[in-house]
Amino acid sequence: MAQQDTAEDISIDASWNALYIDGEWVDPGNRDKIDIQNPATRETVTTVPAATVEDVDRAFEAATRAQTEWAETTPDERATVVRRTADLIDEYEDEIREILAVESGAAKPRQDIEHGGTVTFVHDAASFAFRSSGGHNQSKIPGKENIIQREPVGVVGVISPWNVPLKLSIRAVAPAIALGNSVVLKPACETSISGGLLLAKLFELAGLPDGVLNVVPGDGSVAGDRVASNPNGDVIAFTGSTPVGKQVGQNAIEHFAFPALELGGNNPHVVLEDADLDHAIDGGVFGSFWNQGQVCISINRHLVHESIYDEYVDRLATRAAELEIGDPLDDDVEIGPIINEVQRDEIIDYIENTVAEGATLEVGGNTDGLFVEPTVLSGVTNDMSAACNEHFGPVAPVIPFSNDEEAVELANATEYGLAASVHSTDRGRARDVADRIKAGMVHINDQTVNVEPHVPFGGMKDSGMGRYNGKWLIDELTQTKWTSIQREPREYLL
């Protein structure tokens, strides 16, 4: 397929029916197809080919060939390509917003954050080309110089999710490329465009050499497993559920690739009795219902002191009922559709099971197609279905506690440790509680959905391993090399 280089190629109506391997758009041939559906209407937007194991192997071979030459380019050359990509994301903002709305159900509030955040992240990633630094260490041996270098790891396999597809793909792809690595990207089936093929077009237009980025949409059990297990992969960056992440990690370790895993969460929003209730509820609404709760760092449980519990529940339910539900192409819509029927049915099961276990449905719980009403549940305990599981939907279970110790105990009573938030007008007290919560990211007088390009992003316990962003990601996408130089004859004693 010929290179695609017109503005029309970056739109939901463009031709996306191809793989991208070694700088070539590969026709689908007789491969299985993946239907890309609009979750708001369930209409098929387009189809893309499902990559085979052989396709993934060809992509890794291309990436391996291209990486050596790419690593030898100057930092400025690499940074320039990444900056051009950021500029293109900015230039085609309207087209990209439409792709996110139609393919992934992104309402305007998510479009705002995903598009703007992606541009910021890619500009920051461009600086990585100049930030991978080594040093000199003293030696105990006379006349010896020790040089410490950071070099690219080689080929980075990226397996990205459907919930914030553009941002969560490019947060690994752009830094890897800036640091001199090549990439094989396997996007989620549901978002093969915004999480994968769109990136191929953007980097192609930005002038990235052939083979440095390869995109292979496909089923997780076929293309995803092969990306994780391909012996030419040096780092496997995966974002998704903990059960799948464990398998990805095992596949990666089999060939000594480093598994960078950002996995599930069961994130508590702790509201102490001296909290500013207006701010706590504002944060609670955003943290639970942004992107229909389909975020690994969304609020999964509201832990609220018993003295303010009833008021908190009433006000949260009122706010939830006021949220506008509808087609994400409408700028007034705040709540879009769930990504597919499987996710929707699982969310409804969690709601219904929690009510059967004794909770009260305050508001929501109804569905229309893939639209699920923002839902507030009261009288919840930590072991009820919507609280002990990562429900990944617009659901707010509210759990009472009596003192700070119980709040910390409830917050930590989960296998996950991704994000948390704590509200109190006494910041010292809030910090004491935050310090005792076992999570990789804790936000005081805020909510759990926070990401910044220069601070570490990642979790503890079953929420994964490794960290994205800044120097932490640079460490994972480069390897350390020690070179010593003996500058004067050395005496050897046997």
Contact indicator for 456, 322 with CB cutoff of 8 Å: no
Other beta carbons less than 10 A from residue 292's beta carbon: 32
Question: 95, 98, 296, 373: which is the annotated catalytic residue?
Answer: 296
d(CA 169, CA 67) in angstroms, rounded, equals 19
CATH number at residue 283: 3.40.309.10
Q: What is the pLDDT along the chain (494 residues), one digit of tens a residue?
A: 344 444 458 999 999 999 999 999 999 999 999 999 999 999 999 999 999 999 999 999 999 999 999 999 999 999 999 999 999 999 999 999 999 999 999 999 999 999 999 999 999 999 999 998 889 999 999 999 999 999 999 999 999 999 999 999 999 999 999 999 999 999 999 999 999 999 999 999 999 999 999 999 999 999 999 999 999 999 999 999 999 999 999 999 999 999 999 999 999 999 999 999 999 999 999 999 999 999 999 999 999 999 999 999 999 999 999 999 999 999 999 999 999 999 999 999 999 999 999 999 999 999 999 999 999 999 999 999 999 999 999 999 999 999 999 999 999 999 999 999 999 999 999 999 999 999 999 999 999 999 999 999 999 999 999 999 999 999 999 999 999 999 999 999 88
User: Is 299 part of a structural domain of the chain?
Assistant: yes
> Is 494 part of any domain?
no
Torsion of CA 483, 487, 493, 494, to 10 degrees: 40
Q: What three-state secondary structure class fits 430? A: helix
| Same domain flag for 203 and 337 | no
- Say if residue 238 is in the same domain as residue 345: no
Q: 469 near 117, Cβ under 8 Å?
A: no
Q: How many domains does the chain have?
A: 2
Looking at the fold, whether 254 and 274 belong to one and the same domain comes out as no
Q: Does the residue 491 lie in any domain?
A: no
Report how many helices (DSSP H) and strands (DSSP E) the chain contains, helices first: 16, 24
**Residues 212, 177: contact at Cβ < 8 Å?**
yes
The pLDDT score that the predictor gives to residue 411 is 98
- Per annotation, catalytic residue among 262, 362, 373, 476: 262
Instruction: Work out the burial of residue 220: count CB atoms within 10 Å of its CB; fewer than 13 is exposed, 13-18 middle, 19 or more buried.
Output: middle
296 among known catalytic residues: yes
Going across the sheet that includes 478-486, the strands are 135-137, 144-152, 478-486
Same-domain status, 16 and 128: yes
In a domain, 486, yes or no: no
Task: Indicate if 252 and 279 belong to the same structural domain.
Answer: no
Active site residue 262: yes
Structural Rg of the chain based on CA atoms: 24
Same domain, 278 and 251: no
Query: Looking at the structure, do residues 194 and 226 belong to the same domain, yes or no?
Result: yes
pLDDT at residue 8, as a whole number: 56
Does 161 lie in the same domain as 111? yes
Domain that holds residue 471: 7-263+463-481
Q: Report the C-alpha gap between 487 and 489 in whole angstroms.
A: 7
Give pTM, 2 decimals. 0.96
Q: Do residues 340 and 372 both lie within one domain?
A: yes
Predicted local confidence at residue 133, as pLDDT: 86
288 & 326 share domain: yes
Residues 251, 111: one domain?
yes
Q: Using N-to-C axis directions, what is the helix angle for 165-178 and 470-477, rounded to 10°?
A: 60
131 occurs within a structural domain: yes
In this structure, is residue 247 part of a structural domain?
yes
- Give the pLDDT score at 3: 43
Supply the DSSP symbol for 7. G
Q: What is the CATH number of the domain that holds 86?
A: 3.40.605.10
Judge whether 490 lies within some domain. Answer: no
Q: Are residues 253 and 294 in the same domain?
A: no
